[in-house]
């Protein structure tokens, strides 16, 4: 009944293997980020802030932590009577193997969910991009340009911005904005249009493509759906101009956190009128002791800071002991850093205990990762 | 159709709270911010849910909208229930006429219908201006064990201060035989905390009798409790131990916030088994720059700190610019302390701006006239201009021009 | 912090609805049951959510408690939102004093703060006593397309009945050039449905001007709309087609219920794409015994039917015992028609009991004096004793003794 | 912090194989029952009405329909910020095979969920019993008798009440109420104590038993947990006196529906102060046409009745055509029975279409089952 309604589909685990230890017990979507968030918070909030309120999250395995995080969708106002948030588990509609080879195949498992929705368009997104995007503008362009597909991209300079490891890049017709080519490149250079794995498509077209793909045993979104459409359908690019970064591996995960320390990045990621929602934990304000010293750091609620913290991101409920020094670190939830400990270039996962006077020093390109629950 | 409930709570959110004047211009006292993330009402509400109470009526007639919107569907306190939850209960018109609430007892009396919907055996009466953590379930167990008609929570206060409180004189078994309101020569040090459990049947009877008494002031402390005592109803004092503070004045509100910075004060907000819940906007972690200095303070999500913060409580979204100093102060949500401004012994309410180089408040040791000294208060949405001076003990509810 | 909303709705839930007297003794008119499962307010609320409006203020000062509890957290209408939802807005005390609502415009005026929290571009004004299904989003599109300051939904009524309505005289392009309130000689048949969309900025200005006008009755129809027309603001009529009924009187309430039994009446409650939502208690399916006879009627969950039901609407939890007859009547939730009782051309309100062999109402054809005939009404919680007779057109708000 | 708190665990699919066609696309828990309910509604409502508000539902497969039904738990007031309803999917904690051999093994997958709760007791239940039980009395007896386990049972007479196919029966000490023996019997006769597969146990004891079982590769609740405890621990029975029936197969499913037509059964199953909650569907009242005739039937909201219905249960949204006759049938949601059709002893699943003038006649012991979505 709502005209031009858009529904959302989010892949929660397309990049699990690339993130290594971070996704050992969780999906890409539920990787902690930025002091109090999980990666999926950005995609979910972008959709919700863009009036997309029926959202299905496709999962494969390891999704208990994801379910714990999103719950019924309340923080994103997706706990709706009609529509709202849906977790689409692996056994949903097909065989029961619970595995899929690509996004297109994963969508097949969500076909009945998609079909039952009364939306006209579907916004399909991965959950590994950190950006605050007003997707309404993308929808507007899609409708105005009579496109059959619109692909979100960002113009980047490979090298400084991204390492150019296996990126999906697009070539665009400068006049029409039509996508002329899209492909994966292992070693691109210079200015490039990076596909952000966000696709807007008419629902009926998507349903047809999924059915076609199932009949032909095809599974890849880019290879079997977008590439064949280029040239035959109206496939447009929508350029995102703001801050965006993909979490591709531990290094880009670390780099994205360091980006957060720049005020201009925070301004772009956390505008007042498009908040990034996340699960509420009812933590107390941060308590700074008499001997604390902090510089260029982000500190989330529930922390107790008695030591020194520089160039670091401290997640909710962490405790930094007296005379401890934490420098260039990502300290996740409930990590306890003992008195006199000394940490540099450390990524400590949740519930880590660093005992008094321990020293751990990594290097910018090789941060030390400490697994969830470990004691050092 | 509804299941009978063992007990429900009625929270007297009270009137304007005129002693907090500049802070309660546009909101009821229980909605005043406290402790970095909370509003006063979060404490009794969280105590309720932690004590297993799932139905709370909030009685107010002064600016209920902010409270209404703050409480909303009750979800942050897990009071979003199909059968029960939290309700703001303002006065209303009946076919027999309409009345504003004329006293605490009258407010409950006017909502007898609300209470009876849940058919409770006991009713807990709370007020909305105290900071404390308390397991009301233990108090109910005490009420039942003593076979009481009314149980009043009491706190031991130093005998020399007892004359400032309502004092309960009780036998060793807890049975109260006398009340004294602010007695010049107190006989005991058991001060009423304004927390009552009534057996509903009894309470109902006394509320109705009180409503029909033209000479009554319709007040719990002045009318209902004395009437029950007169009739020899069983009234007992329930001794509470722990932190409890009335935050009905500027000084006590400031002190209670400062208490959070004192490790010796027994109000533990970090205890996961007795969380205090609140509704706060979602904001990123706070940022502390290389220029900042922070000591013995509480800082909340969404803050940006470039200046110096010392012995202070900063609520969410506060900005302290470079060179600014905030000391022994409370800065409520969304306020901005501009470059070089100095805020000392002050309460800055929500969304205010302290201009560059302005000075708000003063340390008592710097005051010329110590008798005129006090906490300075800047009200909600007030702009203090560049270089302006707000003296100690000021109560500012309007903008102040800058000085060039 | 809140996102700007394109539009919100304000629903004027009105006063006691004295023409429904026995039905509104203890509840506001919008809470009156309708159509087996609904209450009147379900229609505008469901229209709102189906039209994409997620924030609705409900303005009332008469018995708001029942409405407050009925609406609760808004969940049945999917209006349980973090940012927005449904709010009951009774009058309140401000630091500058306090007022009951003195008119429809005044009620909105007193809640300007509420509206501004959402910073809407448009405000939809609804009333709480109409039964209809309408896509307000189409009306908003029309409002924008016409560049209007105010759009008024109008219904074509038979010209001979037009003098009973507020009539809009408009140019062919929809622009209104004149209002006439119940004109003796109507120039058009476009009747106002009491549904307005205002561009908020304009509305705000006129509300404030109206509040300052001591001669104004603070009423939309009488003051705000004429003032805007006077000032040559762009006002357009939005033509609505479909079922629309004012249920402000006993007769029209009875008729509107009966309309549901008429397949020719274009009010389709079975349409899944425009559901009407309501809050109802969960009850098992209704049971029909071997002794029952049911024809052309609506029967709801939780009913037990042993008697005869003919051309009637039975709400949830109604019991019709053996040998009882219910004909051309409406029986609201939880009422019991005892053995051998006969209910004809009546409205039985909630939780009432019609005793054995009692007679309520009468068919018009059986009436001795047709001028004195009318629908009989038995109020909420009323007991009609064994064998008692309640004549047609009665308005019963108290128990009636049985006749042995 | 709440004294004597009880949490709940519900098995959603212990009886899938016994119910045959009814569970082809759903779990036992989500089998439709009684016009508007699903089987699990009874167990869930019993728990909720007995102040148990932290409930985990253990699932294996086929759980999409279960998730659709329970959602975030709102109808049972289990959409809580703390606690409330949790779906425990198969991949939760162990290997990832998603299969288990018995209840005890299934509990192993829920161990971390159980461990994290602050309850003192756990109420463990299947979802195949139709009864309205005030479990508070069972908890009271458990505490008063210092029992380590309490088992819910009903005294039945095998034969008329139940067919005695593979029942778990208990022998009790008449004086102490201690369970002296519990075992499965394929051919019991006469008066027997039928275990209703509802067990109350102290949480720490349960955790220990689960850990033990995992170490010893044990999986059966009765065989590896209850039987060894009999004689060694205080195992008590709690007798339920009211109406209770187990849905064991298609015949008992049919018989349980016929029971619902008895007023005394409805009175026991649907008391006003302990309602059976279920998902709300916002259906209209039932519309009876001019030519309808109905006797001894239960009709749920949203139906349109133009024909004749006798001794039947009609689920939500079904339509009975003009001059159609429906006798001794269970007609599930949205079934359409055409004009002049004639049905006796038919169980039609959801969304079935019976065309005009079709005749289908089964027999009491052999009702005809029509699968979901079929057209006849």
What digits encode the pLDDT tens for the residues D7-52? 999 998 877 777 778 888 788 899 999 999 999 999 999 999 999 9
Task: Name which of B1, B2, B3 to mutate to probe chain D: the one with the most chain D Cβ atoms within 10 A of its Cβ.
Answer: B3
Cβ-Cβ contacts under 8 Å, B351 against chain A: none
Give the pLDDT of residue C13.
84
| Cα–Cα distance for residue pair A265/B93, rounded to 1 Å | 54
Cβ-Cβ contacts under 8 Å, A289 against chain B: 295-296
Whether residues D203 and D308 share a domain: the answer is no
Q: Averaging pLDDT over each range in B315-319, C59-63, C83-87, which range is the top one?
A: B315-319
Whether residues A11 and A159 share a domain: the answer is yes
Give the pLDDT of residue C2.
58
What digits encode the pLDDT tens for the residues C120-137? 999 999 998 899 999 999
Helix then strand then coil, % of chain A, to nearest 5: 25, 30, 45
Helix (H, G, I), strand (E, B) or coil at A210: helix
Interface residues of D toward C, Cβ cutoff 8 Å, are: 34-36, 74-75, 261, 263, 266, 269-270, 275-278, 280, 282-290, 292-302, 304, 309, 313-314
| Cα–Cα distance for residue pair B149/D164, rounded to 1 Å | 55
Helix (H, G, I), strand (E, B) or coil at B97: strand
Put simply, whether B3 touches C (Cβ < 8 Å) is no
How many Cβ pairs within 8 Å bridge chains B and D? 28
Q: Do C92 and B65 touch (CB under 8 A)?
A: yes
SS (H, E, C) D11-38: ECCCCCCCCHHHHCCCCHHHCEECCCEE
Give the pLDDT of residue B128.
87
Whether residues A17 and A124 share a domain: the answer is yes
ipTM: 0.85
Query: Residue A167 domain-assigned?
Result: yes
One-character DSSP codes across D146-208:
T-SEEEEEEEEEETTTB--SSEEEEEE-TTT-BEEEEEEESS--EEEEEEEEEEEEEHHHHHH
Give the pLDDT of residue B388.
95
What digits encode the pLDDT tens for the residues A185-205? 767 778 889 999 999 999 999
Whether residues A247 and A122 share a domain: the answer is yes
Q: Do A284 and B37 touch (CB under 8 A)?
A: yes
Rounded to the nearest angstrom, the minimum Cα separation between C78 and chain D is: 12
CA C357 to chain centre: 33
Cross-chain CB nearest to B50 (options D1, D3, D79): D1
Give yes or no for a contact between C74 and C85, defined as CB atoms under 8 angstroms apart: yes
Give the pLDDT of residue D112.
86
- Which of B380, B288, B397 minimizes the C-alpha distance to B333? B380
The yes-or-no verdict on residue C98 having pLDDT over 60 is no
Identify the domain containing residue A322 by its residue range.
287-370
Rounded to the nearest angstrom, the minimum Cα separation between A106 and chain C is: 29
Query: Residue D208 domain-assigned?
Result: yes
**Residue after which a domain boundary falls, among D208, D241, D269:** D269
pLDDT band at B344 (very low <50, low <70, confident <90, very high): very high
This prediction has a pTM of: 0.88
Whether residues D294 and D265 share a domain: the answer is no
Length of chain C: 404
**Residue after which a domain boundary falls, among D269, D295, D329:** D269
Show the tokens assigned to A210: 């999924």
Give the pLDDT of residue D95.
45
The yes-or-no verdict on residue B102 having pLDDT over 50 is yes
Beta strands in C118-189 (DSSP E): 122-127, 130-132, 150-156, 166-170, 176-181
CA dihedral D310, D311, D316, D320 (to 10 degrees): -20
Rounded to the nearest angstrom, the minimum Cα separation between C327 and chain D is: 13
- Average pLDDT across chain C, whole number: 91
Show the tokens assigned to D83: 């606690």
**Residue after which a domain boundary falls, among A237, A269, A301:** A269
Sign of the dihedral through C-alpha C159, C164, C165, C168: positive
Give the pLDDT of residue A95.
45
| Cα–Cα distance for residue pair A88/A349, rounded to 1 Å | 27
Whether residues D19 and D70 share a domain: the answer is yes
CA B205 to chain centre: 29
Helix (H, G, I), strand (E, B) or coil at D300: coil
What digits encode the pLDDT tens for the residues B107-158? 999 899 889 989 999 999 999 889 999 999 999 999 999 999 999 999 999 8
Cβ-Cβ contacts under 8 Å, B273 against chain D: 1, 118
What digits encode the pLDDT tens for the residues B206-233? 999 999 998 898 888 889 999 999 999 9
CA A313 to chain centre: 18
CA B359 to chain centre: 29
Q: Do C298 and D287 touch (CB under 8 A)?
A: yes
Give the pLDDT of residue A94.
43
Strands B293-295 and B308-310: parallel
Give the residue, C89 or D150, on which the prediction is more confident.
D150
Rounded to the nearest angstrom, the minimum Cα separation between D82 and chain B is: 7
Query: Residue D227 domain-assigned?
Result: yes
The yes-or-no verdict on residue A144 having pLDDT over 70 is yes
Whether residues A139 and A75 share a domain: the answer is yes
Which CATH number goes with the domain that contains D356? 2.160.10.10
Whether residues D134 and D171 share a domain: the answer is yes
Query: Residue A280 domain-assigned?
Result: no
Query: Residue A281 domain-assigned?
Result: no
Cβ-Cβ contacts under 8 Å, D74 against chain B: 82
Tell me the C-alpha to C-alpha distance, in Å, between residue B158 and each of B162, B179, B190, B361.
6, 17, 9, 31
Give yes or no for a contact between B346 and B378, defined as CB atoms under 8 angstroms apart: yes
Q: Do C87 and B69 touch (CB under 8 A)?
A: yes
Please give the DSSP secondary-structure letter assigned to residue A206: H
Give the pLDDT of residue B152.
96
Number of domains comprising chain D: 2
Task: List the pLDDT tens digit at each of the 376 positions of chain D.
Answer: 467 899 999 998 877 777 778 888 788 899 999 999 999 999 999 999 999 999 999 987 667 788 889 888 888 989 888 889 988 876 544 444 456 778 888 888 888 899 989 999 999 999 999 999 999 999 999 999 999 999 999 998 876 555 546 678 899 988 888 999 898 876 777 888 999 999 999 999 999 998 888 888 887 888 888 888 888 899 999 999 999 999 988 888 999 999 999 999 999 999 988 999 999 889 999 999 998 999 999 999 999 999 999 999 999 999 999 999 999 999 999 999 999 999 999 999 999 999 999 999 999 888 999 999 999 8
Q: Do B282 and A282 touch (CB under 8 A)?
A: no
Query: Residue D281 domain-assigned?
Result: no
Whether residues A85 and A232 share a domain: the answer is yes
Give the pLDDT of residue C161.
85
| Cα–Cα distance for residue pair C331/C314, rounded to 1 Å | 5
| Cα–Cα distance for residue pair A352/B303, rounded to 1 Å | 26
Whether residues D181 and D310 share a domain: the answer is no
Query: Residue A277 domain-assigned?
Result: no
Nearest CA in chain D to A89: D64
Whether residues A93 and A201 share a domain: the answer is yes
Question: Look-up: residue for tokens 């997958």?
Answer: D109
The yes-or-no verdict on residue C18 having pLDDT over 70 is no
Task: Name which of C6, C51, C80 to mutate to probe chain A: the one with the most chain A Cβ atoms within 10 A of its Cβ.
Answer: C80
Q: Residue A23: how many CB atoms within 10 A of its CB?
A: 19
What digits encode the pLDDT tens for the residues B16-37? 666 777 788 777 888 899 999 9
The yes-or-no verdict on residue B181 having pLDDT over 70 is yes
Query: Residue D279 domain-assigned?
Result: no
Which CATH number goes with the domain that contains D193? 3.90.550.10
Whether residues D258 and D364 share a domain: the answer is no
Tell me the C-alpha to C-alpha distance, in Å, between residue A126 and each of A11, A17, A42, A195, A266.
5, 14, 11, 11, 22
Which chains lie within 8 Å of chain C at 3 or more CB pairs, if any?
A, B, D
Helix and strand numbers, DSSP H then E, in chain B: 8, 33
Q: Do C300 and D301 touch (CB under 8 A)?
A: yes
Give yes or no for a contact between A12 and A26, defined as CB atoms under 8 angstroms apart: no
């Amino acid at each position: 009944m709502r005209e031009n309604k858009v529904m959302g589909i989010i892949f929660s685990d397309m990049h699990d293997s690339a993130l290594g230890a971070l996704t050992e017990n969780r999906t890409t979507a539920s990787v902690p980020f930025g002091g109090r968030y999980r990666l999926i918070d950005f995609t979910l909030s972008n959709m919700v802030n863009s009036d997309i309120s029926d959202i299905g999250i496709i999962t494969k395995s390891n999704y208990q932590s994801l379910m714990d995080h999103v719950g019924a969708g309340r923080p994103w106002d997706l706990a709706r009577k009609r529509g709202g948030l849906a977790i689409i588990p692996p056994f949903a509609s097909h065989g029961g193997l619970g595995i899929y080879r690509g996004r297109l195949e994963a969508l097949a498992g969500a076909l009945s969910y998609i079909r039952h929705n009364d939306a006209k368009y579907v916004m399909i997104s991965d959950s590994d991009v950190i950006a605050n995007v007003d997707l309404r503008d993308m929808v507007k362009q899609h409708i105005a340009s009579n496109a059959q597909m619109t692909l979100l991209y960002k113009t980047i300079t490979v090298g400084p911005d991204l390492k150019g490891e296996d990126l999906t890049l697009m070539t665009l017709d400068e006049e029409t904005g039509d996508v002329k080519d899209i492909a994966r490149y292992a070693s691109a250079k210079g200015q490039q249009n990076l596909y952000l794995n966000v696709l807007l498509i008419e629902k009926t077209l998507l349903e047809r493509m999924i059915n076609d793909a199932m009949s032909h045993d095809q599974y890849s979104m880019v290879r079997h759906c977008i590439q064949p459409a280029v040239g035959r359908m109206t496939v447009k690019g929508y350029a995102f101009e703001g801050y965006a970064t993909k979490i591709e591996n531990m290094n880009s995960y670390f780099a994205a956190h360091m980006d957060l320390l720049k005020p201009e990045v925070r301004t772009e990621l956390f505008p007042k009128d498009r908040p990034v929602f996340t699960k509420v934990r009812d933590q107390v304000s941060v308590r700074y002791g008499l001997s604390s010293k902090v510089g260029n750091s982000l500190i989330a609620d529930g922390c107790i800071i008695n030591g020194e913290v520089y160039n670091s991101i401290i997640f909710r409920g962490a405790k930094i002991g007296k005379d401890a020094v934490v420098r260039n670190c990502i300290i996740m939830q409930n990590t306890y850093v003992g008195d006199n400990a000394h940490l540099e270039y450390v990524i400590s996962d949740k519930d880590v205990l660093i005992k008094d006077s321990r020293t751990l020093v990594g290097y910018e390109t090789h941060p030390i990762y400490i697994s969830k629950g470990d004691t050092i | 159709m509804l299941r009978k409930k063992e007990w429900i709570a009625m929270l007297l959110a009270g009137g304007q709270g005129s002693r907090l004047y500049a802070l309660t211009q546009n909101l009821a006292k229980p909605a005043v911010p406290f402790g970095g993330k909370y509003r006063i009402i979060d404490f009794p509400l969280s105590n309720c849910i932690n004590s297993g109470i799932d139905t709370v009526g909030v009685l107010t007639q002064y600016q209920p909208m902010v409270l209404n919107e703050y409480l909303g569907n009750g979800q942050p306190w897990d009071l979003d229930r199909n059968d029960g939850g939290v309700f703001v209960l303002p006065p209303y018109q009946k076919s027999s006429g309409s009345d504003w609430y004329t006293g605490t007892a009258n407010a409950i009396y006017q909502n007898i219908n609300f209470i009876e919907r849940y058919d409770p055996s006991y009713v807990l009466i709370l007020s909305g201006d105290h900071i404390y953590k308390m397991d009301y379930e233990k108090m109910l167990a005490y009420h039942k064990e003593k076979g009481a008609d009314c149980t009043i929570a009491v706190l031991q206060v130093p005998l020399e201060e007892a004359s400032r409180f309502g004092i309960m004189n009780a036998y060793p078994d807890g049975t109260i035989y006398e009340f004294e309101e602010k007695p010049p020569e107190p006989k005991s040090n058991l001060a009423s905390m304004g927390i009552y459990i009534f057996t509903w049947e009894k309470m109902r009877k006394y509320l109705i009798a009180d409503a029909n008494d033209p000479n009554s002031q319709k007040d719990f402390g002045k009318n209902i409790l004395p009437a029950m005592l007169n009739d020899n109803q069983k009234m007992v004092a329930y001794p509470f131990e722990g932190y409890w503070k009335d935050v009905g004045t500027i000084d006590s509100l400031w002190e209670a916030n400062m208490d959070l910075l004192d490790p010796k004060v027994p109000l533990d907000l970090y205890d996961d088994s007795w969380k205090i819940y609140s509704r706060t906007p979602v904001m990123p972690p706070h940022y502390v720059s290389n220029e900042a200095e922070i000591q013995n303070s509480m800082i909340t999500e969404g803050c940006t700190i470039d200046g110096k913060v010392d012995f202070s409580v900063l609520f969410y979204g506060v900005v302290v610019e470079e060179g600014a100093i905030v000391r022994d102060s409370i800065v409520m949500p969304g306020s901005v302390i501009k470059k070089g401004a100095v805020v000392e012994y002050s309460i800055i309410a929500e969304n205010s701006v302290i201009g560059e180089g302005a000075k708000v408040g003063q340390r008592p040791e710097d005051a010329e006239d110590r008798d005129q000294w006090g906490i300075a208060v800047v009200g909600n949405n007030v702009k203090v201009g560049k270089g302006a001076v707000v003296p100690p003990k000021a109560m500012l509810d309007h903008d102040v021009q800058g000085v060039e």
